[in-house]
Homo-oligomer: A and B are copies of this chain.
């Protein structure tokens, strides 16, 4: 959530003064993402992000109100949430594919985001809300994909399968990574699909 210069509405309000350098936007967010995944949320200092981006600290704080806001933006920036395309005739295969993608996604970046979330939950509820919105966005994005359509087939699956998936799959994966500390290897993912998701979706 960058501190935007443009008023939410209107086009006419021509921005005055020197415009922000878009190249720096990218550099900042890339650097933030790197540092975040390398050292974790609270070992990540704004100063180190600035250094790696080759940018002054001011340039970051002009765009983002907060260290946490930088993290949100960084994750938002990178995650196009490109849910992989799946074949509609193979439910198990589709689930496996998506679950695999989800696990990699979470391990790589969302762990950092969750750290920020925990850190900011009490202090800055508005920010927490922002992060939640971001996390929620990805779930919503699924509905419009081929995978979303597979889960929405009311004739063969439990109604509400999509919601169930969004509720359970990320939760169990995060739990696995953070709490258990074990990797999301293929065996685990098959277990997730075969012993949890499929039984729930296919019950008569």
Contact = CB atoms under 8 A, between A and B. Distances in A.
Given A42-B42, A171-B171, A172-B172, 17 more contacts: A43-B122, A43-B123, A111-B121, A114-B179, A115-B119, A117-B178, A136-B180, A167-B176, A168-B171, A168-B196, A171-B172, A171-B175, A174-B174, A196-B200, A199-B199, A199-B203, A203-B203
Contact of A39 (B40, B122, B167, B200): B122
Listed from nearest, the 5 A-B pairs whose CB atoms lie closest are: A171-B175, A40-B122, A115-B118, A171-B171, A171-B172
A129 interface: yes
Interface residues of A, number: 39
Q: How many copies does the complex hold?
A: 4
Nearest to A171: B175
Given A168-B168, A195-B164, A181 B115 contact: no
A85 B170 CA distance: 31
A121 to B, nearest CB: 6
Contact of A178 (B111, B121, B172, B203): B121
A184 interface: no
A41 interface: yes
A132 interface: yes
A176 to B, nearest CB: 8
